[in-house]
């Protein structure tokens, strides 16, 4: 049986830098959960289909189950737990206010994806259903269809989509 040498990787997670040795095949999700003890990103499908492992990676939403930890040496990672480090993040508060969760398993990934999605929209990035591509998208342009499309990579087995949609709409300012 072949063994792989471990390699060192530096990850800044929720503001704290960690240097860990990992097998080159270790996913970023496994490094976060098993090596660093961060329980916020969840292992759902382990195939990049459910979004429960979503974090903000250098400010952008990213699936950690498909990423090798070594590829993100030096990266800054924010988990849902890290969003509320200095009080409740507005998206987290909106999820609470609108019951955007049921069992809560997908909630950390949903919250991180919503934060990233709102940032993408605020930067003017269009989605697949953006009607007017002649001007940048704004948060005011986020229709229910826009929000649904932008969040389509995050699944909720409990079906809390109505609350999630309401929470994101509120966090977007409307």
Q: Is 124 exposed, middle or buried (0-12, 13-18, 19+ CB in 10 A)?
A: exposed
What pLDDT score does 132 carry? 84
Q: Is residue 56 part of a domain?
A: yes
What pLDDT score does 47 carry? 94
Whether 94 and 79 map to the same domain: the answer is no
- 94: domain CATH number? 1.10.150.120
Whether 76 and 98 map to the same domain: the answer is no
- Distance (Å, rounded) from C-alpha 27 to C-alpha 70? 8
What pLDDT score does 2 carry? 63
Whether 65 and 103 map to the same domain: the answer is no
What pLDDT score does 1 carry? 55
Q: Which residue range is the domain that position 34 belongs to?
A: 7-83
- The total of structural domains in the chain comes to 2
Question: Domain ends where: 83, 116, 143?
Answer: 83
pTM higher than the cut 0.85: yes
> What residues in the chain have per-residue pLDDT under 70?
1-2, 174
What pLDDT score does 28 carry? 98
Q: Is residue 1 part of a domain?
A: no
């Amino acid at each position: 049986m072949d063994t792989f040498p471990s390699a060192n990787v530096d990850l800044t997670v929720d503001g704290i830098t960690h240097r860990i040795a990992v097998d080159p095949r270790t996913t970023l999700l496994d490094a976060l959960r098993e090596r660093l003890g961060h329980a916020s990103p969840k292992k759902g499908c382990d195939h990049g289909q459910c979004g429960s492992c979503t974090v903000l990676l250098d400010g952008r939403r990213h699936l950690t189950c498909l990423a090798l930890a070594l590829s993100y040496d030096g990266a800054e990672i924010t988990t849902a737990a890290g969003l509320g480090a200095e009080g409740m993040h507005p998206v987290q508060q909106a999820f609470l206010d609108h019951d955007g969760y049921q069992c809560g398993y997908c909630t950390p990934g949903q919250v991180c994806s919503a934060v990233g999605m709102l940032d993408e929209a605020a930067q003017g990035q269009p989605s697949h259903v953006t009607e007017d591509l002649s001007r940048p998208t704004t948060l005011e342009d986020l229709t229910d269809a826009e929000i649904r499309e932008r969040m389509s990579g995050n699944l909720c087995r409990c079906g809390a989509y109505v609350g999630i949609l309401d929470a994101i709409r509120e966090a977007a300012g409307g």
